[in-house]
Amino acid sequence: MQLAVAELGKTVEVVRILVEGAAKKRLEALGFSLGGHITPLADNGGNLIIKVGESRVAVNKGIAMRVLVEKISDVCPQHGLGQCDDENTLHMRGETADGSCACSAERHSCAC
């Protein structure tokens, strides 16, 4: 999907950048890279505010249409993608300052 239509507040992964030249160099200088995680925060009409690392940057919507991204799963990779533990607890990804897992558990009914 295009970055310009990604859900605000949800982190996505950059999978392709379809711009060349100075615009591509500018995106790279701002921290956009293949496989990088970014979060669209706000849509201010002609620009999107994007969280890249610890920074917030404005990107023209036309450029954002040419940055392709994918959703990142909300399930904690430490506890298994799409799997529940023995107590039907789904572990949702959380982040700590050191990058370690800080899951919050959510109980639900499933057929796991």
Which pLDDT does position 71 carry in this prediction? 84
Q: Note the pLDDT tens digit of each residue in 39-86.
A: 999 999 889 999 998 899 999 999 999 999 998 754 444 544 444 444
| Domains in the chain, CATH or no CATH each | 3-71 (2.30.30.90), 77-107 (no CATH)
pTM over 0.75: no
* Confidence check: pLDDT of 106 > 60: no
Average pLDDT for 99-106: 53
Distance of alpha carbon 109 from alpha carbon 103, whole angstroms: 19
What is the average pLDDT score of the chain?
Answer: 77
